[in-house]
Every structure is written in C-alpha cells, then in structure tokens.
Structure 1
Amino acid sequence: MKLLLSTTDPTVIAFAQALLAGEDIDSFVMDVHMSTLEGGIGLFPRRMMVADRDLYRARVVLKDNDIPDGL
C-alpha cells in the first residue's frame, strides 16, 4: 500500500474515495477514529492508501479533479 492523500478535511477524503471507486481503484482510509482521541477538532490528518499498482492511476484521477495530495 502506498500513501496517496493526507488531509484533515473529511469531505476531500469522501470525494476522493468516490472518484477512485468510479475508476475501480480500491482505497483504504487510515486514522479515521483518531477524532475520539483528539476530541473531534480535526487535528490529525487522515491518510488514504492505495495498492502499489494503482498509485499512478489514482494520482492522475486526483490531479484531473483538482484535489491536492496534501503530501
């Protein structure tokens, strides 16, 4: 798995997941439950991971839709 996206904005994660699913690219979001530790203030970024073989295609999808990678 490779890191594709890191952001504190949950709407960006949801939009990126929808776009990748439309292109048949599986993704996995890490650090989703960190808000319970931080008190829900959005301090820690969520990370979106994709398979090594899908990384290039996923980056193209995000770039074509003006989603910054946050890396």
Structure 2
Amino acid sequence: MRELLRTNDLVKLSWLQALLRDAGIEPLVLDSHASVLEGSAIAIPRRLVVVEEDYGAARRLLEQAGEEVWSGEGW
C-alpha cells in the first residue's frame, strides 16, 4: 500500500475516494477508527492509500484535481 495523502477533512476525503473509484482505483482509508477512539475527529488525520500498482495513476489523478500528494518525505 502507498499513501497518497492525510487529511482531517471528511468531505474532501469522501470526494477523493469517489474520484479514484470513478477511475477504477479502489482506495482505502486508514486511521478512521483510531481518530474516533482518540475522542476528537481531528486529532489523528486519516490516510488515503492505494495498492502499489495503482499509485502512479492515483497520484496523477489527484494532482490533476489540484491535490497535493504526499511524497513520502514527511509533511
């Protein structure tokens, strides 16, 4: 799995998931339960990830949509 981005914006996250699915890419959201357990929806950002094979296409799609994609170097 490769991480595309982290966000606390649930609307943005939902939109990005729909965008990826429309392109035939199945995303996965990590840390959603940890964020809820922490007691604050914004304490722990959710991570949007895809399988390695879809990473390049997903990255290009999100960049074309104006999103900053995580480089793996830190935020």
Q: Could you list the runs of 4 or more consecutive aligned residues of structure 1 that deviate by over 3 angstroms after TM superposition?
A: none
**Amino acid in structure 1 at the alignment position of 2:28:** F
Relative distance call for 1:41 and 1:51 in structure 2 (3 A) is closer
* TM-score normalised by L of structure 1: 0.86
Q: Which residue of 1 aligns with 2:39?
A: 39
Listed one character per residue, the Cα deviations across residues 17-49 of structure 1 (whole Å, up to 9, x for unaligned) are 000000000111001112332223411110011
Structure 2 unaligned residues grouped into runs of 5+: none
**Bigger relative CO (Cα 8 Å, ≥ 6 apart):** 1
Alignment root-mean-square deviation, CA: 1.5
**1:46 and 1:12 mapped to 2: Cα distance?**
11
| Residues 7 and 45, structure 2, Cα contact 8 Å, conserved in 1 | yes
* TM-score normalised by L of structure 2: 0.82
| Residues 2 and 55, structure 1, Cα contact 8 Å, conserved in 2 | yes
